[in-house]
């Protein structure tokens, strides 16, 4: 038994991805690196790590941007003796979400850091002493500029993708702004163009406290025996608390006291206090106070609106395709800000998808919800680099993380022909919004058959992962809340396929459809079909049929209606029904339809709608 365990450990160890820490001095012009603030750095050294192989066309590079306090060691192991791998090892490696079998993956320590890249604790070549108070103000723009110089010196001219969470997400966005032609895909997790005011407030207070530490010495503390550890520890404690959410704290901390620990006056001894003490101490041992000040300041003051005038202008020239991943309980970068950014990107014609991960873990979810992030990242990054079958196999392997999602709605009548009817109603090369898009099959089909493009919107995350695999951009959300990320008349068609009867506000969604699209296509089960009528009349029960397959008490079909009812609603909304197709499977019903009694015969109605002249 024991032998078996040892073997497994040995096997796991032999699979470890080994990596070497590297360092490179940037080749700079004689005046040095010009910074966004106007300052200069005469020398810049960058600490970095590489994974996988650069292909011949040098177009398989993924740059991983790091969060606030993380270094270049993004994955892998330095030696067999290491206790821990790099900080995102779960995500990066052979056959992992960021697949090093396909991609050449680069991570680096950011400018201003203390993990090998030039920062305030580095020696200033002018003096031979640490920069300290002489280290110039840096910005996210400068951090990204250094990364660009690094990849250029590595012989790389463009990125297949840039990806990052938190401060790393801000860098990913800045990449798309500063190097608009270099970045093919930009994935920004738990970040936005600026920090929320509440997070900003806590950061500001943390910095004030650190600056007030009696050992700070205006930043020139490197030669003194005592460093501003106390102030740094306090700032870190505040930071740690902001990365969590009320729910995750509740889960993490009971009200128990560690009775073995003696408490000083005004100390509670509760486990949250011990947690803060322990982690702040650990942090102080691995991080430099000046780096903390400079990097948080860069994060707090980053705001492309200030630099470029507006978000629109900032991203104007970008050729990137975006995926924004927001975390539901993240109050440092709340989902509302990710949505606002997505809306703006869509508005200026960029391809931008958005996902809101439902997680109780606050900002930390970006490091904790690995199992949910894996398929999202994987599906966004695999396009073109794998075969279709590879994708299908992998999505099947990855989608186990979604077991709790609701079952799929059964397909009506076993008629898989509804796409054909829809196809028959649209012009080639139309731009389509599929509302309640499921796995994106409609847009994928219409793309292949009619050269259509389009977006999907759905509430089910698992479905959306399938969309990303198919390269169908998506918006994650509840249709009943409206289509407000999309601008007026952004599409040729908006399609509502067998979803309308499940909506809370079908009238509102219908109006929204014809706001965002020229025309709408609505597919719905007709409650007035003769079989439904007879069920109620003769049996006195709510009908159960192929079109309405649920028990009344558990049915998602909360607003049943007939074709005639649909006509009344359209009329009241000043909507015209341009064309209707009446679909049925039964002989009796077909007879009624043949005679023109469509409201009696149709089991399924497919209607093409547009605004009336008086709209």
1 binds a copy of itself (CB under 8 A): no
Assigned token pair, 240: 């740690």
Site for a copy of itself contains 348 (CB under 8 A): no
Q: Does 187 bind a copy of itself (CB under 8 A)?
A: no
Residues touching a copy of itself, count (CB under 8 A): 78
Phi-psi map region of 232: left, alpha, beta (phi>0 left; psi -120 to 50 alpha) = alpha
- Strands of 148-190 (E only): list them: 159-165, 183-189
- Positions 391 through 420 that interact with a copy of itself (CB under 8 A): none
How far is CA 376 from its chain centroid? 8
Is residue 223 a contact residue for a copy of itself (CB under 8 A)? no
Give the residue with the Cβ less far from a copy of itself, 28 or 272: 272
Segment 247 to 266, residues that bind a copy of itself, using CB under 8 A: 249-250, 252-253, 255, 265-266
Q: Which of residues 584-613 bind a copy of itself (CB under 8 A)?
A: 599-600
- CB-CB neighbours of 298 under 10 Å: 25
Residues 266-285 that bind a copy of itself (CB under 8 A): 266-268, 270, 272-273, 276
- Residue 135 in tokens: 């280290």
Pairing of strands 45-51, 104-108: antiparallel
Please pick, from the candidates 234, 366, 469, 493, the single residue that binds a copy of itself as defined by CB under 8 A: 234
Q: How far is the CB of 142 from a copy of itself (least distance, A)?
A: 16
Positions marked catalytic: 166, 330, 363
Question: Taking CB under 8 A as the rule, does residue 351 contact a copy of itself?
Answer: no
Q: Does 29 bind a copy of itself (CB under 8 A)?
A: no
Binding of residue 88 to a copy of itself (CB under 8 A): no
Determine the Cα–Cα distance for residues 534 and 564; give it in Å rounded to an integer.
Answer: 17
Choices 45-53, 385-393, 442-450, 551-559; region in contact with a copy of itself by CB under 8 A: 551-559
Could you say which residues in the range 466-485 bind a copy of itself, by CB under 8 A?
A: none
Q: Mark the segment that binds a copy of itself (CB under 8 A) among 150-158, 163-171, 210-218, 220-228.
A: 210-218
Tokens of 556: 């998602």
Which long-range contacts link 316-319 to residues 24+ away (Cβ below 8 Å)?
316/348, 317/180, 317/181, 318/176, 318/177, 318/180, 318/183, 318/186, 318/350, 319/180, 319/181, 319/183, 319/184
Q: How far is CA 41 from CA 68, 104, 188, 566, in A?
A: 21, 29, 29, 68
Would you state the structure tokens that stand for residue 307, as one six-digit string?
Answer: 């630099």
Pick the binder of a copy of itself from 568, 579, 594, 615 (CB under 8 A): 568
Q: Does 244 bind a copy of itself (CB under 8 A)?
A: yes
Please, what is the minimum distance in Å from the beta carbon of residue 429 to a copy of itself? 33
**Footprint of a copy of itself on 285-324 (CB under 8 A):** 293, 297, 300-301, 303, 305-306
Q: Give the tokens for residue 334.
A: 């709340």
What residues contact residue 523 under an 8 Å CB cut-off, 6+ apart? 418, 421, 422, 495, 496, 497, 498, 604, 605, 606, 607
> Which residues on neighbouring strands pair with residue 353, listed in sequence order?
323
User: Rounded to the nearest whole angstrom, what is the least distance from the CB of residue 39 to a copy of itself in the complex?
Assistant: 13
Q: Is 448 in the site for a copy of itself (CB under 8 A)?
A: no
Contact (Cβ atoms closer than 8 angstroms) between residue 311 and residue 344: yes
Q: Which one of residues 5, 12, 56, 537 is an interface residue with a copy of itself (CB under 8 A)?
A: 537
The residue range among 143-151, 203-211, 380-388, 460-468 that interacts with a copy of itself, by the rule CB under 8 A, is 203-211
Nearer to a copy of itself, 189 or 528 (CB): 528
DSSP, residue by residue, 29-60: -TT-EEPTTS-EES--EEEEEEES---TTS--
Residue span 497-536 as binding mask against a copy of itself, x where in contact by CB under 8 A, dash where not = -------xxxx-------------------xx---xx--x
- Here the tokens at position 500 are 């309308």
Whole-angstrom distance, CA of residue 371 vs CA of residue 91:
9
Q: What is the C-alpha to C-alpha distance for residues 458 and 463, in angstroms, rounded to an integer? A: 8
**Is residue 496 involved in binding a copy of itself (CB under 8 A)?**
no
Comparison of 75 and 342: residue with beta carbon closer to a copy of itself = 342
Applying CB under 8 A, which part among 54-62, 100-108, 205-213, 316-324 lies near a copy of itself?
205-213
208 binds a copy of itself (CB under 8 A): yes
Q: Work out how close the CB of 222 gets to a copy of itself at its nearest, in angstroms, rounded to a whole number.
A: 17
Q: Which residues, including other chains, have CB under 8 Å from residue 167's CB and lie 6 or more apart?
A: 65, 66, 67, 68, 110, 140, 191, 295, 299
């Amino acid at each position: 038994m024991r032998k078996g365990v040892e073997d497994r450990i040995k096997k796991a160890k032999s699979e470890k991805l080994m990596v070497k820490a590297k360092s490179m001095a940037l080749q700079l012009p004689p005046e040095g690196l010009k910074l966004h603030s106007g300052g200069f750095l005469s020398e810049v050294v960058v600490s970095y790590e590489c994974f996988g192989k650069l292909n011949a066309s040098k177009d398989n590079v993924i740059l991983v941007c790091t969060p606030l306090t993380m270094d270049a060691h993004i994955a892998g192991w330095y030696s067999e003796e290491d206790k821990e791998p790099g900080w995102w090892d779960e995500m990066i490696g052979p056959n992992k979400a960021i697949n090093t079998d396909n991609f050449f993956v680069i991570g680096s320590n950011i400018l201003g850091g203390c993990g090998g890249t030039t920062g305030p604790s580095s020696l200033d070549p002018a003096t031979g002493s640490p920069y300290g108070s002489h280290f110039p103000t840096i910005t996210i723009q400068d951090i990204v500029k250094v990364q660009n110089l690094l990849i250029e010196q590595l012989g790389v001219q463009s990125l297949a993708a840039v990806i990052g969470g938190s401060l790393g997400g801000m860098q990913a966005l800045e990449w798309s702004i500063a190097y608009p032609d270099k970045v093919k895909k930009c994935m920004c997790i738990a970040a936005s163009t600026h920090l929320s005011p509440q997070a900003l407030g806590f950061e500001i207070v943390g910095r004030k406290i650190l600056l007030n530490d009696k050992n700070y010495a205006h930043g020139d503390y490197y030669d003194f025996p005592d460093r501003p550890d106390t102030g740094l520890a306090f700032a870190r404690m505040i930071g740690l608390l902001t990365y969590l959410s009320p729910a995750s704290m509740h889960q993490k901390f009971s009200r128990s006291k560690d009775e073995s620990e003696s408490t000083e006056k005004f100390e509670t001894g509760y486990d949250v206090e011990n947690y803060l003490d322990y982690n702040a101490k650990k942090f102080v041992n691995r991080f430099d106070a000046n780096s903390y000040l400079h990097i948080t300041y860069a994060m707090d003051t980053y705001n492309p609106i200030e630099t470029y005038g507006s978000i629109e202008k900032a991203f104007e020239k970008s050729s990137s395709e975006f995926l924004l991943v927001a975390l539901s309980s993240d109050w440092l970068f709340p989902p509302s800000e990710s949505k606002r950014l997505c809306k703006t990107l869509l508005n200026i014609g960029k391809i931008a998808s958005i996902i809101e991960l439902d997680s109780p873990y606050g900002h930390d979810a970006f490091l904790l919800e690995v199992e949910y992030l894996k398929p999202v990242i994987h599906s966004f990054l695999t396009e073109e680099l794998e075969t279709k079958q590879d994708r299908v196999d992998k999505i099947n392997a990855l989608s186990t993380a979604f077991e709790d999602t609701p079952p799929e709605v059964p397909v009506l009548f076993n008629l898989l022909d509804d796409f054909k009817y829809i196809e028959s109603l649209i012009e080639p090369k139309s731009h389509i919004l599929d509302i309640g898009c499921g796995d994106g099959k409609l847009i994928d089909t219409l793309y292949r058959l009619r050269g259509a493009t389009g977006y999907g919107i759905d509430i089910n995350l698992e479905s959306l992962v399938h969309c990303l695999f198919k390269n169908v951009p998506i918006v994650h959300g509840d249709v009943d809340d409206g289509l407000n990320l999309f601008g007026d008349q952004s599409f040729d068609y908006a399609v509502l396929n067998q979803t309308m009867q499940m909506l809370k506000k079908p009238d509102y969604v219908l109006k929204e459809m014809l706001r965002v699209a020229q025309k709408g296509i609505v597919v719905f089960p007709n409650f007035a079909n003769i079989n439904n009528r007879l069920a109620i009349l003769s049996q006195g029960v709510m009908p159960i049929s192929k079109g309405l397959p649920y028990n009344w008490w558990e049915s998602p079909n909360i607003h049943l209606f007939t074709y005639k009812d649909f006509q009344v609603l359209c009329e009241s909304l000043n909507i015209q029904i341009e064309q209707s197709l009446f679909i049925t499977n039964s002989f009796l019903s077909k007879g009624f339809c043949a005679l023109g009694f469509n409201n009696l015969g149709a089991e399924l109605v497919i209607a093409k709608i547009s605004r009336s002249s008086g709209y």
